[in-house]
Amino acid sequence: MNRHFKPLYSARLRWAILTAATIAVLLSIVQIITDPPLLLGERWFSGGGWYQIVLASVAGGWLYTRMDPVSTRSRWRKRTWMFFTVIFFAQLLLGLWADPVFLMSGELHFPVPDLILGGAIYRWQIGFMPLLFLITVLLSGGAWCHQLCYFGALDAWAARNSSRPSRLSSSRRQQIRLSILTLFMLAALCFRLFGLSSLWATVWAAGAGLLGLCVLLFGSYPRRQMIHCSLYCPLGTLVSYVKQLSPWRFCITEQCTHCLHCTTHCPYGALTASDIQQRKPGQSCTLCGDCLPHCPHQALVYRFPGLKSSTAEHLWLCVGVTLYICFLMLARI
Protein backbone atom coordinates (compact mmCIF):
# COMPACT_ATOMS: atom_id res chain seq x y z
CA MET A 1 0.00 0.00 0.00
CA ASN A 2 1.27 3.47 -0.85
CA ARG A 3 2.78 5.04 2.28
CA HIS A 4 0.98 8.32 1.56
CA PHE A 5 -2.45 6.67 1.88
CA LYS A 6 -1.65 4.25 4.70
CA PRO A 7 -2.22 6.71 7.61
CA LEU A 8 -5.54 7.81 6.08
CA TYR A 9 -6.63 4.21 5.59
CA SER A 10 -5.63 3.30 9.14
CA ALA A 11 -7.57 6.23 10.59
CA ARG A 12 -10.62 5.30 8.53
CA LEU A 13 -10.41 1.70 9.71
CA ARG A 14 -10.07 2.72 13.36
CA TRP A 15 -13.10 4.98 13.18
CA ALA A 16 -15.08 2.30 11.33
CA ILE A 17 -14.29 -0.18 14.11
CA LEU A 18 -15.27 2.38 16.76
CA THR A 19 -18.56 2.99 14.92
CA ALA A 20 -19.31 -0.73 14.74
CA ALA A 21 -18.47 -1.20 18.43
CA THR A 22 -20.68 1.73 19.49
CA ILE A 23 -23.60 0.32 17.50
CA ALA A 24 -23.09 -3.08 19.10
CA VAL A 25 -23.10 -1.62 22.61
CA LEU A 26 -26.20 0.54 22.10
CA LEU A 27 -28.25 -2.20 20.44
CA SER A 28 -27.12 -4.72 23.06
CA ILE A 29 -28.56 -2.45 25.75
CA VAL A 30 -31.85 -2.34 23.82
CA GLN A 31 -31.77 -6.13 23.43
CA ILE A 32 -31.24 -6.70 27.15
CA ILE A 33 -33.57 -4.17 28.77
CA THR A 34 -36.63 -3.99 26.49
CA ASP A 35 -39.62 -6.25 26.97
CA PRO A 36 -41.33 -6.98 24.64
CA PRO A 37 -38.25 -6.92 22.40
CA LEU A 38 -37.82 -4.04 19.96
CA LEU A 39 -35.40 -5.78 17.61
CA LEU A 40 -37.26 -7.67 14.89
CA GLY A 41 -34.77 -10.54 14.98
CA GLU A 42 -35.67 -11.27 18.60
CA ARG A 43 -39.37 -11.12 17.77
CA TRP A 44 -38.92 -13.77 15.11
CA PHE A 45 -36.98 -16.28 17.23
CA SER A 46 -35.16 -16.40 20.57
CA GLY A 47 -31.64 -15.07 20.19
CA GLY A 48 -32.39 -13.55 16.79
CA GLY A 49 -31.74 -10.09 18.17
CA TRP A 50 -28.07 -10.90 18.73
CA TYR A 51 -27.64 -11.97 15.13
CA GLN A 52 -29.28 -8.71 14.09
CA ILE A 53 -26.86 -6.75 16.29
CA VAL A 54 -23.86 -8.40 14.64
CA LEU A 55 -25.18 -7.64 11.16
CA ALA A 56 -26.03 -4.07 12.14
CA SER A 57 -22.55 -3.47 13.58
CA VAL A 58 -20.83 -4.81 10.47
CA ALA A 59 -23.13 -2.69 8.28
CA GLY A 60 -22.31 0.39 10.36
CA GLY A 61 -18.57 -0.10 10.07
CA TRP A 62 -18.84 -0.70 6.35
CA LEU A 63 -21.05 2.37 5.85
CA TYR A 64 -18.50 4.51 7.69
CA THR A 65 -15.81 3.51 5.18
CA ARG A 66 -18.16 4.50 2.33
CA MET A 67 -19.07 7.87 3.83
CA ASP A 68 -15.68 8.89 5.16
CA PRO A 69 -14.34 10.19 1.81
CA VAL A 70 -15.99 13.57 1.17
CA SER A 71 -16.12 12.77 -2.54
CA THR A 72 -18.64 9.95 -1.99
CA ARG A 73 -20.34 11.07 1.23
CA SER A 74 -23.26 12.90 -0.35
CA ARG A 75 -24.08 9.98 -2.65
CA TRP A 76 -24.09 7.45 0.18
CA ARG A 77 -25.99 9.77 2.50
CA LYS A 78 -28.83 10.06 0.00
CA ARG A 79 -28.83 6.36 -0.87
CA THR A 80 -29.00 5.22 2.75
CA TRP A 81 -31.51 7.94 3.61
CA MET A 82 -33.94 6.69 0.97
CA PHE A 83 -33.26 3.09 2.04
CA PHE A 84 -34.27 4.02 5.59
CA THR A 85 -37.49 5.61 4.32
CA VAL A 86 -38.38 2.55 2.21
CA ILE A 87 -37.74 0.19 5.15
CA PHE A 88 -39.72 2.42 7.52
CA PHE A 89 -42.86 2.57 5.39
CA ALA A 90 -42.53 -1.08 4.28
CA GLN A 91 -42.55 -2.16 7.93
CA LEU A 92 -45.58 0.04 8.56
CA LEU A 93 -47.50 -1.55 5.67
CA LEU A 94 -46.44 -5.05 6.68
CA GLY A 95 -47.48 -4.35 10.25
CA LEU A 96 -50.91 -3.09 9.21
CA TRP A 97 -51.70 -5.68 6.56
CA ALA A 98 -49.57 -8.73 7.27
CA ASP A 99 -48.30 -9.18 10.83
CA PRO A 100 -48.29 -6.77 13.82
CA VAL A 101 -44.80 -8.05 14.71
CA PHE A 102 -43.52 -5.30 12.40
CA LEU A 103 -45.11 -2.57 14.54
CA MET A 104 -43.59 -1.09 17.68
CA SER A 105 -45.62 -1.55 20.86
CA GLY A 106 -47.91 1.38 21.61
CA GLU A 107 -50.57 3.43 19.89
CA LEU A 108 -50.53 3.83 16.13
CA HIS A 109 -50.00 7.41 14.94
CA PHE A 110 -49.67 9.20 11.65
CA PRO A 111 -46.16 8.86 10.16
CA VAL A 112 -45.78 12.63 9.84
CA PRO A 113 -42.65 14.14 11.49
CA ASP A 114 -44.39 17.48 12.12
CA LEU A 115 -46.70 15.74 14.59
CA ILE A 116 -43.82 14.95 16.95
CA LEU A 117 -44.05 18.60 17.98
CA GLY A 118 -47.78 19.08 17.49
CA GLY A 119 -48.65 15.88 19.34
CA ALA A 120 -46.53 16.86 22.35
CA ILE A 121 -48.31 20.23 22.58
CA TYR A 122 -51.75 18.68 22.11
CA ARG A 123 -51.15 16.00 24.76
CA TRP A 124 -49.14 18.43 26.92
CA GLN A 125 -46.50 15.83 27.66
CA ILE A 126 -43.08 14.78 26.44
CA GLY A 127 -43.45 11.24 25.10
CA PHE A 128 -40.94 8.85 23.57
CA MET A 129 -40.67 10.47 20.13
CA PRO A 130 -40.14 14.09 21.33
CA LEU A 131 -37.51 12.83 23.76
CA LEU A 132 -35.79 10.80 21.05
CA PHE A 133 -35.89 13.84 18.77
CA LEU A 134 -34.26 16.10 21.37
CA ILE A 135 -31.53 13.59 22.23
CA THR A 136 -30.77 13.03 18.55
CA VAL A 137 -30.40 16.75 17.82
CA LEU A 138 -28.20 17.25 20.89
CA LEU A 139 -25.95 14.36 19.88
CA SER A 140 -25.66 15.09 16.17
CA GLY A 141 -26.67 18.67 15.44
CA GLY A 142 -28.82 18.44 12.33
CA ALA A 143 -28.54 14.75 11.35
CA TRP A 144 -32.25 14.36 12.01
CA CYS A 145 -32.95 16.55 8.98
CA HIS A 146 -30.40 15.12 6.55
CA GLN A 147 -30.50 11.37 7.16
CA LEU A 148 -32.94 10.30 9.87
CA CYS A 149 -36.29 11.81 8.86
CA TYR A 150 -38.36 9.44 6.72
CA PHE A 151 -40.14 12.39 5.07
CA GLY A 152 -36.93 14.25 4.27
CA ALA A 153 -35.69 11.57 1.90
CA LEU A 154 -38.89 11.97 -0.10
CA ASP A 155 -38.26 15.70 -0.30
CA ALA A 156 -34.71 15.11 -1.56
CA TRP A 157 -36.12 12.73 -4.17
CA ALA A 158 -38.81 15.23 -5.20
CA ALA A 159 -36.10 17.86 -5.65
CA ARG A 160 -34.22 15.26 -7.72
CA ASN A 161 -31.26 15.55 -5.36
CA SER A 162 -30.62 19.03 -6.71
CA SER A 163 -28.83 21.78 -4.81
CA ARG A 164 -30.15 24.67 -6.86
CA PRO A 165 -29.52 27.87 -4.89
CA SER A 166 -32.50 29.60 -3.32
CA ARG A 167 -33.54 33.09 -4.36
CA LEU A 168 -34.45 33.88 -0.77
CA SER A 169 -31.89 35.23 1.66
CA SER A 170 -31.20 33.19 4.80
CA SER A 171 -32.90 35.82 6.97
CA ARG A 172 -36.04 35.90 4.81
CA ARG A 173 -36.12 32.12 4.71
CA GLN A 174 -35.90 31.95 8.49
CA GLN A 175 -38.72 34.48 8.89
CA ILE A 176 -41.00 32.29 6.77
CA ARG A 177 -40.00 29.17 8.67
CA LEU A 178 -40.62 30.81 12.03
CA SER A 179 -44.04 31.99 10.90
CA ILE A 180 -45.05 28.48 9.86
CA LEU A 181 -43.69 27.01 13.10
CA THR A 182 -45.61 29.58 15.16
CA LEU A 183 -48.87 28.90 13.31
CA PHE A 184 -48.38 25.16 13.75
CA MET A 185 -47.75 25.47 17.49
CA LEU A 186 -50.70 27.84 17.97
CA ALA A 187 -53.00 25.41 16.17
CA ALA A 188 -51.93 22.54 18.43
CA LEU A 189 -52.29 24.76 21.49
CA CYS A 190 -55.81 25.80 20.47
CA PHE A 191 -56.79 22.16 20.08
CA ARG A 192 -55.52 21.60 23.60
CA LEU A 193 -57.08 24.68 25.25
CA PHE A 194 -60.50 24.28 23.63
CA GLY A 195 -60.60 20.56 24.39
CA LEU A 196 -61.37 19.48 20.86
CA SER A 197 -61.94 15.76 20.46
CA SER A 198 -59.37 13.27 19.20
CA LEU A 199 -61.38 13.00 15.98
CA TRP A 200 -60.64 16.65 15.18
CA ALA A 201 -57.03 16.12 16.15
CA THR A 202 -56.87 13.17 13.76
CA VAL A 203 -58.32 15.26 10.95
CA TRP A 204 -55.75 17.97 11.68
CA ALA A 205 -52.93 15.40 11.69
CA ALA A 206 -54.06 13.99 8.35
CA GLY A 207 -54.30 17.51 6.96
CA ALA A 208 -50.74 18.31 8.08
CA GLY A 209 -49.49 15.18 6.32
CA LEU A 210 -51.37 15.96 3.11
CA LEU A 211 -50.13 19.55 3.13
CA GLY A 212 -46.58 18.26 3.45
CA LEU A 213 -47.10 15.99 0.45
CA CYS A 214 -48.50 18.90 -1.55
CA VAL A 215 -45.40 20.93 -0.75
CA LEU A 216 -43.30 18.03 -2.03
CA LEU A 217 -45.23 17.65 -5.26
CA PHE A 218 -45.99 21.26 -6.10
CA GLY A 219 -43.06 23.01 -4.46
CA SER A 220 -39.97 20.82 -4.27
CA TYR A 221 -40.51 18.90 -7.50
CA PRO A 222 -41.05 21.76 -9.99
CA ARG A 223 -38.48 24.06 -8.35
CA ARG A 224 -35.88 21.33 -7.83
CA GLN A 225 -35.32 22.59 -4.29
CA MET A 226 -36.01 20.92 -0.94
CA ILE A 227 -38.87 23.30 -0.15
CA HIS A 228 -40.51 20.99 2.39
CA CYS A 229 -37.40 20.53 4.55
CA SER A 230 -35.78 23.93 4.17
CA LEU A 231 -38.86 26.15 4.27
CA TYR A 232 -42.07 24.42 5.37
CA CYS A 233 -41.35 21.71 7.96
CA PRO A 234 -41.98 23.01 11.52
CA LEU A 235 -39.83 20.26 12.99
CA GLY A 236 -36.96 21.23 10.70
CA THR A 237 -37.26 24.81 11.91
CA LEU A 238 -37.13 23.58 15.51
CA VAL A 239 -33.98 21.63 14.65
CA SER A 240 -32.34 24.80 13.34
CA TYR A 241 -32.64 26.32 16.83
CA VAL A 242 -32.27 23.32 19.14
CA LYS A 243 -29.04 22.33 17.35
CA GLN A 244 -27.45 25.42 18.91
CA LEU A 245 -27.45 23.45 22.18
CA SER A 246 -25.36 20.76 20.50
CA PRO A 247 -21.55 21.09 20.63
CA TRP A 248 -21.23 20.62 16.86
CA ARG A 249 -20.56 23.56 14.58
CA PHE A 250 -19.97 23.94 10.84
CA CYS A 251 -17.70 26.86 10.04
CA ILE A 252 -16.29 28.88 7.17
CA THR A 253 -12.61 29.54 7.87
CA GLU A 254 -10.33 32.39 6.79
CA GLN A 255 -9.17 30.26 3.87
CA CYS A 256 -12.43 31.16 2.11
CA THR A 257 -11.87 33.32 -0.99
CA HIS A 258 -15.57 34.01 -1.65
CA CYS A 259 -15.51 32.03 -4.88
CA LEU A 260 -19.12 30.94 -4.08
CA HIS A 261 -18.66 27.44 -5.52
CA CYS A 262 -20.24 25.96 -2.40
CA THR A 263 -23.45 27.98 -2.74
CA THR A 264 -24.72 25.77 -5.56
CA HIS A 265 -24.20 22.58 -3.57
CA CYS A 266 -26.18 23.17 -0.39
CA PRO A 267 -29.56 21.38 -0.50
CA TYR A 268 -30.84 23.42 2.46
CA GLY A 269 -30.09 26.92 1.15
CA ALA A 270 -27.69 27.62 4.01
CA LEU A 271 -24.82 28.96 1.90
CA THR A 272 -25.85 32.18 0.20
CA ALA A 273 -23.48 34.97 -0.85
CA SER A 274 -24.47 36.83 2.32
CA ASP A 275 -23.66 33.80 4.48
CA ILE A 276 -20.24 33.51 2.86
CA GLN A 277 -19.56 37.20 3.50
CA GLN A 278 -20.39 36.69 7.17
CA ARG A 279 -18.31 33.47 7.26
CA LYS A 280 -21.17 31.59 8.86
CA PRO A 281 -23.65 29.11 7.31
CA GLY A 282 -27.31 30.06 7.50
CA GLN A 283 -29.64 28.88 10.23
CA SER A 284 -30.97 26.10 7.99
CA CYS A 285 -27.58 24.32 7.83
CA THR A 286 -27.93 20.67 8.91
CA LEU A 287 -24.18 19.84 8.83
CA CYS A 288 -24.79 17.34 6.02
CA GLY A 289 -21.42 18.14 4.40
CA ASP A 290 -22.61 18.02 0.78
CA CYS A 291 -20.70 21.25 0.17
CA LEU A 292 -17.31 19.95 1.37
CA PRO A 293 -16.01 18.40 -1.88
CA HIS A 294 -16.97 21.55 -3.79
CA CYS A 295 -14.81 23.95 -1.81
CA PRO A 296 -11.45 24.22 -3.64
CA HIS A 297 -9.84 25.88 -0.63
CA GLN A 298 -10.98 23.47 2.11
CA ALA A 299 -12.50 26.38 3.98
CA LEU A 300 -15.55 24.45 5.25
CA VAL A 301 -14.85 22.50 8.44
CA TYR A 302 -16.54 20.83 11.41
CA ARG A 303 -15.84 22.09 14.92
CA PHE A 304 -16.14 20.34 18.26
CA PRO A 305 -14.77 21.79 21.53
CA GLY A 306 -11.22 20.62 22.22
CA LEU A 307 -10.76 18.71 18.95
CA LYS A 308 -8.96 19.41 15.70
CA SER A 309 -11.29 19.93 12.76
CA SER A 310 -10.23 16.61 11.15
CA THR A 311 -10.92 14.68 14.36
CA ALA A 312 -14.20 16.53 14.82
CA GLU A 313 -15.29 15.47 11.34
CA HIS A 314 -14.43 11.82 12.02
CA LEU A 315 -16.33 11.92 15.32
CA TRP A 316 -19.33 13.64 13.72
CA LEU A 317 -19.48 10.97 11.02
CA CYS A 318 -19.15 8.20 13.62
CA VAL A 319 -22.09 9.65 15.59
CA GLY A 320 -24.17 10.12 12.45
CA VAL A 321 -23.64 6.59 11.13
CA THR A 322 -24.28 5.12 14.59
CA LEU A 323 -27.58 6.96 14.91
CA TYR A 324 -28.57 6.00 11.38
CA ILE A 325 -28.01 2.27 11.94
CA CYS A 326 -29.79 2.34 15.31
CA PHE A 327 -32.74 4.17 13.75
CA LEU A 328 -32.78 1.66 10.90
CA MET A 329 -32.95 -1.19 13.40
CA LEU A 330 -35.53 0.38 15.73
CA ALA A 331 -37.54 3.10 13.98
CA ARG A 332 -41.04 1.73 13.57
CA ILE A 333 -44.55 3.05 14.13
What does the pLDDT look like over 33-48, one tens digit per residue? 988 888 999 999 999 9
Q: List, as one string, the DSSP characters of 70-81.
A: HHHHHHHHHHHH
Decide if pLDDT at 224 tops 90.
no
d(CA 102, CA 297): 48
Mean pLDDT rounded to a whole number for the chain: 88
Residue 245 has a pLDDT of: 93
What does the pLDDT look like over 55-83, one tens digit per residue? 999 999 999 999 999 999 999 999 999 99
Which alpha helices (DSSP H) does the chain contain, by range? 6-33, 40-44, 48-67, 70-97, 114-123, 128-140, 143, 152-158, 170-193, 198-215, 221-223, 227, 234-242, 273-278, 309-330
Residue 1 has a pLDDT of: 46
Domains of the chain, by residue range, sit at: 1-103, 109-298
Residue 30: pLDDT band by 50, 70, 90 thresholds? Answer: very high
Is residue 266 within 8 Å of 157, Cβ to Cβ? no
| pTM value surpassing 0.85 | yes
- CA dist 169 → 135, 159, 215 (Å): 30, 19, 20
Decide if pLDDT at 6 tops 60.
no
Residue 94 has a pLDDT of: 87
d(CA 163, CA 326): 28
Distance between start and end Cα atoms, the chain = 47
Amino acid at 185: M
Residue 109 has a pLDDT of: 66
d(CA 300, CA 304): 14
Residue 246: pLDDT band by 50, 70, 90 thresholds? Answer: very high
